[in-house]
Chain A
């Protein structure tokens, strides 16, 4: 550090030449509860220490005493900007352990929901980058469509943020006519809004100057840091779980995996934008495939697994079998096969993994969530070292840090 600075300090002063700045735990610009203790030399960040865990809720311990269907609401609260992705990721893990095969229509319905959730997550992330760089209007344009996505969730599962959507084996009910209608509206109206958003930002000189070269990371460092998802792809690595380990019939679909080159804020922004377009195309493809289904196949919305899928309420009142299954499931009396399984999905922030050990009991023996946020946040210090404080804020929002996923 230059000796010219802080000339007002008396000689031999024990005062520091740098300023310690607490960014967080509840700073509005961090968009979540976590703390960064920054050592500042003027406007430049010399070092940063992150403190996380403010909203740690012991999910892994809780999961050891919950039957499978009670773990879904826990996963809601990981990345709460895209809860359906976590829910379905968990269902897929459970189905993998239990050996449940879902019908194609369920897979496609899930893809619609998952891609809607990805759009909801990415649009928040990207429009927040806009807000943090001083352009508020993009956020307002897109927010309307997150609202619409939430309405679609609401039609399907009854809730908006912490969705608890779907069940092991499929969905709790078929998509309603209103849900399809709203989805239609979304598919019709969102492209124009996204296009307008891109027009506002992508080639905007101010935005480009602000974000290009801001918080870059090389592909090698990104891999070493365990980056996944858009943040890794922005650095130029085309790793996408949907392509590498297809789940939920993603291999039936045609889509591209966008990559960046420098891994800076601008590339992360662009990658997320392209992914939103790809998600739209995936939703349209899935919609078409569902429309083309005929007969019985076109009505199915869950696999036939009475041990894990709650029977219809009217059956519970009229048939003995259904009543027994209902009781056994609700009381958590279903024993699982022994085994250990790692299953992952491409969540909005990267590879969301579930490491699930079953000892043959009724609850997991051990359940570990691989949370992409937690893993890439440790690179934050390296990303912002030497940069301006205002850049650190933008880097943080471009990483899409979600406190719920950070702390589990």
Chain B
């Protein structure tokens, strides 16, 4: 059986990506079977476009897009995570771009996926990721007047005066601020 007829596997995806982008992509792993990798944030659109256009890969369904905040990872505090799905071969992948929290500019995927519009607005709303080129980047779930990004880790959920709700009680050894 030729490579084209074989069902798409994580190895093929990884190999294709390596052929196209060389060693610019990194940290390939497969947590719970889903191929996961990182790209430099300048490349996010190029990677998405390549995954979309390539006739073998066909990752044409954006399942989900969200951000994660890692306050202790200096220079790459915010991760924008894309979940893509190839519906033909039924393969899912996840890829991440990391950005500095002081300059959280990431290119928008709205030109490629109409669905990215609100997903990116939500991500902006909660993490302050500035999606460059987004047609309507404003808050979506929170009030417009809000001047902070509430899902960032520096905003504690509980009342700070309560010691019984300290992070220590949640297995994280003291405050994460």
Contacts and interface: CB of A to CB of B under 8 A. Distances in A.
A221 B113 CA distance: 9
B151 A61 contact: yes
B90 A245 contact: yes
Interface string B141-153: 1110000001100
B142 A351 contact: no
Interface stretch (B13-21, B41-49, B61-69): B61-69
Interface residues of B, number: 41
Contact of B141 (A56, A244, A368): A56
Contacts of B31: 339-341
Given A53-B141, A342-B34, A351-B63, A225 B115 contact: yes
A223 B114 CA distance: 9
B115 A244 contact: no
Contacts of B83: 342, 353, 355, 370
Interface stretch (A17-25, A257-265, A279-287, A373-381): A373-381
Contacts of B63: 226, 342, 344, 351, 353, 370
B34 to A, nearest CB: 6
Contacts of B62: 226
Contacts of B142: 53, 56
A355 B64 contact: yes
Given A341-B31, A368-B64, A374 B118 contact: yes
A342 B66 contact: no
B171 A335 contact: yes
B115 A226 contact: yes
Interface in B8-32: 31-32
B68 A357 contact: yes
Interface size classification for chain A: 35 or more
B134 interface: no
B1 interface: no
Interface string B113-128: 1110111001000100
A370 B64 contact: yes
Interface string A215-233: 0000001011110000000
B1 to A, nearest CB: 22
A61 B157 CA distance: 7
Given A53-B140, A65-B158, A375 B115 contact: yes
A82 interface: no
Contacts of B158: 65
A333 B157 CA distance: 19
Nearest to B96: A340
A378 B172 contact: no
B76 interface: no
Contacts of B169: 332
A309 interface: no
A378 B64 contact: no
Contact of A60 (B92, B113, B143, B151): B151
A303 B89 CA distance: 32
A117 interface: no
B114 A221 contact: yes
B81 interface: yes
Contact of B60 (A64, A223, A353): A223
Given A96-B32, A237-B87, A332-B170, A342 B68 contact: no
Given A65-B158, A408-B141, A226 B61 contact: yes
Given A53-B141, A53-B142, A361-B172, A378 B118 contact: yes
Contacts of A237: 87
A83 interface: no
Contacts of A62: 157
Question: What are the 5 tightest A-B residue pairs by CB atom distance, in nearest-first order?
Answer: A226-B115, A53-B141, A362-B171, A361-B171, A56-B141
Interface of B: 31-32, 34, 36, 60-64, 66, 68-69, 81, 83, 87, 90, 92, 94, 113-115, 117-119, 122, 126, 139-143, 150-151, 155, 157-158, 165, 169-172
Given A224-B115, A353-B83, 20 more contacts: A53-B140, A65-B165, A223-B60, A224-B114, A226-B63, A244-B87, A332-B169, A335-B171, A339-B31, A341-B31, A342-B32, A342-B63, A360-B171, A363-B170, A363-B171, A368-B64, A377-B118, A378-B115, A379-B114, A407-B141
